[in-house]
Amino acid sequence: MEQHSDTFLTVQMTLKEIVKKLSELSKEDLTNIHVNQEWSWIPYVKDHLDFLIEQTDGIAIALRDAPPPVTLEDVARLVEKR
């Protein structure tokens, strides 16, 4: 099993909790709540929440607990692992 830093685990747990809370909120009746059109062209709160859920979940899944690649060789090795 891979060892992870405390920071990594905290970030991952926090993102998963955010996804859980956003998912709960998204299941509510949001038909009477809209987003100000000066802020967004998408008026539906549910659409915004679903997007946030997708993005946050994607970040949690894509987390890596290692220094970022520095050289082109490092990047190439990461791409090969996929």
**Model pLDDT for residues 22-81, shown as the tens digit of each residue:** 999 999 999 899 888 888 888 999 999 999 999 999 999 988 887 766 778 877 877 777
Please state, in angstroms and rounded to a whole number, the distance separating the CA atoms of residues 32 and 74: 50
Residue 40 domain-assigned (yes or no): yes
Residue 63 domain-assigned (yes or no): yes
Facing residues of 44 across strands? 34
Domain that includes residue 14, residue range: 6-81
Residue 52 domain-assigned (yes or no): yes
User: Does the pTM of the predicted model rise above 0.85?
Assistant: no
Residue 1 domain-assigned (yes or no): no
Residue 32 domain-assigned (yes or no): yes
User: What is the number of domains present in the chain?
Assistant: 1
Report how far Cα 21 is from the mean position of its chain's Cα atoms: 13
Residue 38 domain-assigned (yes or no): yes
Residue 24 domain-assigned (yes or no): yes
Residue 70 domain-assigned (yes or no): yes
Report whether 53 contacts 9 (CB < 8 A): no
Q: In 1-82, which ranges are continuous DSSP H helix?
A: 6-26, 45-62, 72-81
